């Protein structure tokens, strides 16, 4: 269960989608003076080297954030994302990529709290070390715990305002069901929280069913929801040119599903998603989906 390391995938097209939406959501939610509790169920290491062994092995950032590095006339949402990544780098070529914990910390106010869960021992140690450099004191708490279960003790929050990001690796098929159970339980504990779930779009029934099941949950709870999906290439198995053997491509698409999203987010994504698909397309199958529902 500990074979997944996000360092291999840092800055890929899925991160672009996830972190662009994360930034827009927290920018909106931190406008209010009341304190916000942000929860990250699968925080990872927090910071990643794009020139390190992990990232260069897969080179997924080349098809993600690096497609946006020199891009001109970016829409406001994507420009905010690029500016965020740029803030962690001293050169024009990005060598450091911030994960969701560091992006969230940059956007939170002094009274806001950030709870970071990471079950991978090595990544949790890295996360703790990286967070310690911020000298944020009690604002940030790193927990070596199962985030699916650990968040329960923070819902509902004393401030009555919460944002949750859930982006497991889905390395185990059981993660899909655990996401549904967690969201259902969270809505019972704190119905007005904003819940964001990242998911891969792959040829697996559980992956196909997840957004549909989340829609059903939100609708039954009488909550508004938004679903954004980004596809960059075909998902079919290809044949390697030299070896003559079948080879699976990397992740072709992913999605972000939000319950109780900011009311401004859909209009922002109407502009951002087409630009994402255009800049990061790998073949003619690139595209996007944007849908919403509920109250």
Q: Look-up: residue for tokens 């679903």?
A: 227
Say how far apart CA 90 and CA 69 lie, in whole Å.
14
User: Exactly one of 167, 181, 267, 283 is catalytic; which is it?
Assistant: 167
Residue 120 marked as a ligand binder: no
Contacts of 186 (CB under 8 A, 6+ apart): 151, 155, 164, 193, 195
Is 146 annotated in some ligand binding site?
A: yes
Sign of CA dihedral 252, 257, 262, 263: positive
245 is in an annotated binding site: no
CB 17 within 8 A of CB 268: no
Smallest Cα–Cα separation from 158: which of 91, 113, 225?
113
Establish whether 167 is a catalytic residue: yes
Answer yes or no: are the C-beta atoms of 58 and 50 closer than 8 Å.
Answer: no
User: Any binding-site annotation on 278?
Assistant: no
Q: Is 42 marked as binding a ligand?
A: yes
Torsion, CA 161, CA 39, CA 193, CA 287, rounded to 10: 130
Binding-site positions for S-adenosyl-L-methionine read 19, 42, 100, 118, 146-147, 167
Mark the binding-site residues, compressed into ranges.
19, 42, 100, 118, 146-147, 167
Catalytic residues: 167
């Amino acid at each position: 269960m500990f074979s997944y390391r996000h360092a291999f995938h840092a800055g890929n097209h899925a991160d672009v989608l996830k972190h662009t939406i994360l930034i827009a959501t927290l920018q909106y939610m931190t406008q209010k003076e009341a304190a916000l509790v942000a929860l990250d169920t699968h925080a990872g290491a927090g910071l990643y080297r794009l020139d390190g062994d992990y990232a260069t092995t897969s080179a997924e950032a080349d098809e993600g954030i690096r497609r946006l590095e020199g891009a001109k006339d970016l829409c406001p949402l994507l420009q905010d994302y690029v500016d965020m990544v740029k803030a962690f780098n001293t050169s024009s070529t990005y060598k450091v990529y911030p994960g969701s914990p560091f992006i969230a910390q940059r956007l939170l106010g002094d009274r806001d709290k950030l709870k970071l869960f990471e079950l991978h021992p090595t990544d949790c140690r890295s996360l703790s070390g990286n967070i310690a450099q911020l000298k944020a004191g009690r604002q940030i708490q790193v927990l070596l715990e199962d985030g699916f279960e650990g968040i329960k003790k923070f819902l509902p929050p004393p401030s009555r305002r919460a944002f949750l990001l859930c982006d497991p690796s889905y390395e185990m098929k059981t993660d899909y069901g655990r996401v549904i159970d967690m969201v259902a339980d969270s809505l019972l504990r704190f119905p007005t929280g904003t819940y964001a779930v990242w998911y891969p779009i792959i040829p697996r029934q559980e992956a196909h069913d997840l957004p549909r099941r989340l829609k059903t949950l939100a609708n039954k709870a009488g909550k508004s929801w938004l679903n954004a999906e980004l596809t960059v290439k075909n998902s079919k198995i290809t044949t390697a040119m030299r070896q003559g053997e079948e080879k699976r491509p990397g992740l072709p698409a992913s999605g972000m599903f939000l319950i109780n999203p900011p009311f401004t987010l859909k209009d922002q994504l109407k502009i951002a998603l087409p630009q994402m698909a255009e800049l990061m397309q790998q073949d003619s199958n690139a595209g996007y989906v944007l849908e919403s529902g509920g109250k």
